[in-house]
Amino acid sequence: MASREDVALTVERQTAARRLLAEPLVTARTHPEDFALIRAHTEWLVQRFRRVLDYRLTVAADHARLVKTGLVDAVRRPLVRGSGAYFTPRTYSYLALAVAALLDAPPRLTVARLAAEVRSAAVEAGLRLDPADRAGERRAFAAALRVLAEWGVVEEHEGTLAGYGTDGTDAVLDVRPEVARLVLAHPPHTAEGPGGFLAAAESAPGDARGVELMIRRRLAETAVLYREDLAAGHRDRFAHHQWRAVAELSALLGCDAEIRAEGVALIMPDDGGSDARGTDRPAAFPSSDPVGQAALLLVGRLVGRLRPAGPAPSVPVPDDLLRSELGRLTASETAVVRAWTRAAVSHVPDPADFTGRVLRVLTDARLMAHETGRPPGAGWRLLAAAGRYGTGAADEGDLVSGAETAPPPAVRPEPAAEVAQ
């Protein structure tokens, strides 16, 4: 039996690994406790990330950077603004230009001066971007700077980025150029165009070892890996490798797993991890915030209405049913809306924005999927893993069926009755 010291050591290492996987750029300022763990267990983390996922970890005196390679479209997620809206190409452009300007910036400068540097860099690159041009440009620039602040590249010294984005009030920033140099995991250098740059970042061996690496990466980076997500030639390798992959990832991350006929899900410990803003992983599900509770309530209702008679990897959600259930969530007397009005800043969300966030949470959690090319309110499917959140699922049989003796989930959803009252 492991001693208490051994158990504590393992928990510390796995906590540090989960933080790095969720937020590959960790600084002593942004996450002081987790960074202390990373520093204490650097050698173990470097070796394990290299062996299990072939990711490269570098740790300095005040920051750590996990460089991920071989990622595919399925595990890429866009950055989001404070409003929850995805970054637009314009906002990404401001992010890239700001990083370029900060590489040689002084330790302290004003946002107005940085905006001027960004405008000059945009002209040099042939882009028509100017943060001072109009309010929309200023807000996009401020959104990019807020992400850099979350990553520890800049810090508000005087004034706020929110104030700059709202009315143009200048602010003073502390800058860490050494952290700015780590934002790009794969600097372009001599890449011959965007295609060559992306190909180099995605490179992975094409042999059996490469396929197994791809499987482990997708298990670690996605909420659920369905067998139908894999190419036909990779499914047999997945079937043979899944148990070893789960064991290795469990040792690295301290997670449990559900292995079912339709796919595999890693269940992460509920340790107050990242909210996923500006990160590579989706937010935790279920969660206690109003959007998370609404998503839990919606998926429970849909499972109860659409549960198929037999095993099914997914079922279509009728457009009228989805509209009806989303309408119930935003009704003025629901618990979800009351939760918003009881918040520190009372706010009743816009129904369209709110339902969009709910559907995004369920998409990130791989519980629902939207058919490509369909309008946002149509073409939705309920995926197999949603069955574990259905009301009475334990009595009626999960939507995910044909289980292969899976362990019980480590994190169970909150009872639907609690959010329905």
What angle, 0 to 180 degrees and rounded to 10, lies between the N-to-C axes of helices 135-150 and 89-102? Answer: 60
pLDDT value of residue 347 = 53
Total count of domains within the chain:
4
pLDDT tens-digit map of 388-410? 887 643 333 333 333 333 333 33
Residue 222: partners with Cβ closer than 8 Å, 6 or more residues away: 74, 75, 366
Can you list the alpha helix ranges (DSSP code H) found in 58-154? Answer: 89-102, 111-125, 135-150
297 and 394 assigned to the same domain: yes
404 and 296 assigned to the same domain: yes
Neighbour-count burial of 77, counting CB atoms closer than 10 A to its CB (0-12 exposed, 13-18 middle, 19+ buried) = middle
What is the β-pairing status of strands 56-59 and 63-67?
Answer: antiparallel
Q: How far apart are CA 100 and CA 376, in angstroms?
A: 36
Query: Per the domain annotation, does 75 fall within a domain?
Result: no
Q: How far apart are CA 409 and CA 266, in angstroms?
A: 9
pLDDT value of residue 417 = 29
Q: How far apart are CA 199 and CA 278, in angstroms?
A: 23
pLDDT value of residue 274 = 44
Of 162, 180, 198, the position where a domain reaches its end is 180
Q: How many CA atoms lie within 13 A of 282 on its CB side?
A: 28
pLDDT value of residue 95 = 95
CB 365 within 8 A of CB 292: no
Residue ranges for the chain with pLDDT beneath 70: 1-2, 71-76, 189-190, 200-206, 270-283, 309-310, 332-349, 391-421
Of 70, 97, 122, the position where a domain reaches its end is 70
329 and 392 assigned to the same domain: yes
313 and 250 assigned to the same domain: no
pLDDT value of residue 273 = 45
Query: Per the domain annotation, does 185 fall within a domain?
Result: no
Amino acid at the residue 416: A
CB 246 within 8 A of CB 264: yes
325-330 contacts: CB < 8 A, separation 24 or more? 325/298, 325/301, 326/298, 326/355, 326/358, 327/351, 328/301, 329/294, 329/297, 329/298, 329/354, 329/355, 329/358, 330/354, 330/355
Place of tokens 């540090």: 16
The closest alpha carbon to 412, from 392, 391, 389, 385, belongs to 389
Query: Per the domain annotation, does 378 fall within a domain?
Result: yes
H/E segment holding residue 326:
helix 319-329
Q: How far apart are CA 41 and CA 105, in angstroms?
A: 32
Query: Per the domain annotation, does 354 fall within a domain?
Result: yes
Query: Per the domain annotation, does 231 fall within a domain?
Result: yes
Q: How far apart are CA 194 and CA 157, in angstroms?
A: 36
pLDDT value of residue 364 = 87
Q: What is the CATH number of the domain that holds 143?
A: 1.10.10
296 and 353 assigned to the same domain: yes
406 and 367 assigned to the same domain: yes
298 and 362 assigned to the same domain: yes
Amino acid at the residue 263: G
118 and 215 assigned to the same domain: no
Query: Per the domain annotation, does 225 fall within a domain?
Result: yes
323 and 415 assigned to the same domain: yes
Report the phi/psi class of residue 254: left, alpha or beta, with left for phi > 0 and alpha for psi in -120 to 50.
left
pLDDT tens-digit map of 193-245? 777 777 766 656 667 788 888 889 989 988 899 998 888 888 888 998 999 99
The closest alpha carbon to 94, from 25, 146, 140, belongs to 140
pLDDT value of residue 336 = 57
Query: Per the domain annotation, does 362 fall within a domain?
Result: yes
pLDDT value of residue 345 = 45
Question: Could you list the residue range(s) of the whole structural domain that residue 255 is in?
Answer: 208-267
Give percent above pLDDT 90 in the chain. 43
123 and 241 assigned to the same domain: no
pLDDT value of residue 1 = 53
